[in-house]
Amino acid sequence: MGRRTLHDEFFKRAKAEGYHSRAAYKLKQIQESKGLIKRGDRVLDLGCAPGAWLQVAEELVGPEGRVVGIDLKPARGAFGAGVIHRVGDAFEESAESLMELAGGRFDVILSDMAPNTTGVNDHERSIALCQRVLELAIASLKPTGHLVMKVFEGGMYKDLLDSTAMCFAQVKGYKPKASRGVSREMYVIAKGYVPVGR
């Protein structure tokens, strides 16, 4: 069995290009493939620490956009005036408080959240995080807005896709090349939010 390569191509690129982690390239590849984030957008980043997705989102929305990040741990580094991040729990934060920080509903919601992996019920706990992300999306996303959320693959993965498809025009799984080959992580890409009963 080969050893897991910790300092791979994306780790080295992140260090050279000033990103807080290799995860920056996952969002960059999602954006290149799906084109979700536009200049001037309001973006919510759930599970934003250490801050690599905040950095990429800030680049994409430009100075006229707004990026709000929340995580149990603080994000690192300096950001522009359009980025607000704070320590908090996605299960305790209300959609209203997050929208207040952004100045309105979100165009795009991102979630790179994952449970602390123990090898026991990782998939189920990952699904629970995604269900909370969906709740926040339904309460705070603009009509036609987009959602990206990380999940660990397993038996409940198809049910998650089906429940997401109930309120989005297009839903697909996507694994960026920057994800480690051995990782069970997958990103659910949901485009075109369709509010129900709003």
Residues annotated as part of the active site: 150
Q: For the chain, first and last CA: distance in Å?
A: 53
Angle at 110 between CA 122 and CA 135, to 5 degrees: 70
Burial of 79 (0-12, 13-18, 19+ CB in 10 A): middle
Contact at 8 Å (CB) between 30 and 189?
yes
**Amino acid at position 159, single letter:** D
The C-alpha atoms of residue 87 and residue 70 are separated, in whole angstroms, by 6
Give all strands of the β-sheet with 42-46 in edge-to-edge order: 83-87, 66-71, 42-46, 106-111, 141-152, 185-193, 168-174
| DSSP state, residue 183 | -
* Percent helix, percent strand, percent coil in the chain, to nearest 5: 35, 25, 40
